[in-house]
């Protein structure tokens, strides 16, 4: 028996390298230098910073930051084992856009919930967010939509099909709230990842399927326009065909001769 490890594509290689650089180098700088901590904080996402100070870049840069070795290790594992199949199916451009959208939307979801005043628990109002949990959750959901009947080894030993992995990912989101898992991304970030995985995952994705259905409806409406005009023209021709075949119109040479008075001198008529 031989274990064949997945071969990462170019986008996944860049993501893994970025996680390692920011995970190890960033931790060294943040823990041992003051300006390193300042730079780390500048890359994290905060609800007030995005809304009031327009730090829009932090919606994306926060997804490559980690502050613990365990968080970095499980992030690398989560990206490595499921992402190669998605990048091979979708191509590098779509896969990169999928990852970026999951991180951005995960942060936006946390910020939206932060503005709900009736949720008084501090777990719904984090001071700052960073980490790739939303992207990993989106990858799990996207992979499950592409491989509903394919079996994968969860935690390296538990056989799980893709359709079951989807519900496990959803359950993980609620477990994080119930047990206050202390995610640095915010407990609501995985829910944003699930929504991105559902809307942008699959072939075609739900978003693209809706776009194609709307485009088809517009094309059918445009095609119905000339047909309706053709039906109206045919009805006009039919109405004309139901009228009298021929009509004699007065006028012409005979009518002019009939109206002309005979000459008084008739010697030259013959």
Short-list 56, 71, 55, 59, CA closest to 22: 71
Residues present in the chain in total: 270
8 A C-beta contact, residue 104 and residue 22: no
Q: What are phi and psi of 217, to 5 degrees?
A: -65, -40
In 84-171, DSSP assigns E strands to 151-154, 158-161
Please report the pLDDT score of residue 200 as a whole number. 93
Q: Which token pair is 158?
A: 């538990």
**pLDDT, position 112:** 93
Superfamily of domain covering 10-210 = Rhomboid-like (1.20.1540.10)
Q: Over the stretch 10-61, which tens digit does the pLDDT of each residue have?
A: 999 999 999 999 988 878 877 788 888 888 888 999 988 887 778 899 999 9
Lowest-pLDDT choice from 73-77, 84-88, 113-117, 224-228: 224-228
SS3 (DSSP) at 129: strand
Contact 192, 106 (CB under 8 A): yes
CA distance 146 to 201: 7
Confidence of residue 1 (pLDDT cuts 50, 70, 90): very low
pLDDT given for residue 2 in this prediction = 44
Asked if 75 and 131 count as a contact pair (C-beta separation under 8 A), the reply is yes
Centroid of chain to Cα 218: 20
Q: What is the pLDDT of residue 6?
A: 83
Burial grade of 110 (CB within 10 A; 0-12, 13-18, 19 or more): buried
| Contact call for residues 89 and 150 (beta carbons, < 8 A) | no
**Alpha helices, DSSP H, located in 179-205:** 189-200
Residue 154's DSSP bridge partners are 158
User: Which pLDDT tens digit goes with each residue over 179-222?
Assistant: 877 788 999 999 999 999 999 998 888 998 999 999 999 888 88
- d(Cα 174, Cα 4) in Å, to the nearest integer? 33
* Higher per-residue pLDDT: 241 or 233: 233
Look up tokens 């693209």; give the residue: 208
Note the pLDDT tens digit of each residue in 79-137: 998 899 999 999 999 999 999 999 999 999 999 999 998 888 889 999 899 999 999 99
pTM of the model: 0.78
């Amino acid at each position: 028996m031989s274990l064949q490890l997945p071969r990462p594509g170019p986008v996944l290689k860049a993501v893994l390298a970025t996680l390692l650089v920011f995970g190890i180098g960033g931790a060294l700088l943040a823990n041992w230098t003051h300006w390193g901590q300042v730079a780390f904080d500048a890359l994290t996402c905060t609800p007030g910073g995005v809304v009031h100070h327009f730090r829009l870049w932090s919606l994306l840069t926060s997804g490559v930051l980690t502050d613990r070795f365990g968080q970095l290790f499980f992030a690398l594992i989560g990206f490595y084992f499921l992402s190669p199949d998605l990048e091979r199916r979708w191509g590098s451009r779509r896969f990169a856009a999928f990852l970026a959208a999951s991180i951005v939307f995960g942060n936006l979801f946390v910020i939206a919930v932060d503005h709900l005043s009736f949720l008084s628990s501090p777990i719904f109002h984090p001071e700052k967010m960073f980490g790739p949990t939303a992207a990993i959750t989106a990858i799990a959901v996207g992979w499950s939509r592409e491989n509903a009947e394919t079996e994968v080894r969860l935690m390296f030993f538990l056989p799980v099909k893709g359709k079951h992995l989807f519900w496990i990912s959803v359950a993980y989101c609620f477990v994080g709230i119930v047990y206050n898992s202390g995610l640095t991304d915010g407990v609501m970030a995985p829910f944003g990842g699930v929504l991105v995985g559902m809307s942008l995952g699959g072939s075609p994705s739900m978003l693209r399927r809706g776009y194609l259905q709307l485009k088809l409806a517009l094309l059918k409406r445009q095609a119905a326009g000339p047909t309706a005009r053709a039906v109206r023209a045919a009805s006009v021709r039919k109405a004309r065909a139901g009228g009298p075949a021929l009509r004699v119109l007065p006028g012409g040479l005979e009518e002019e001769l009939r109206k002309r008075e005979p000459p008084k001198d008739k010697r030259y008529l013959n």
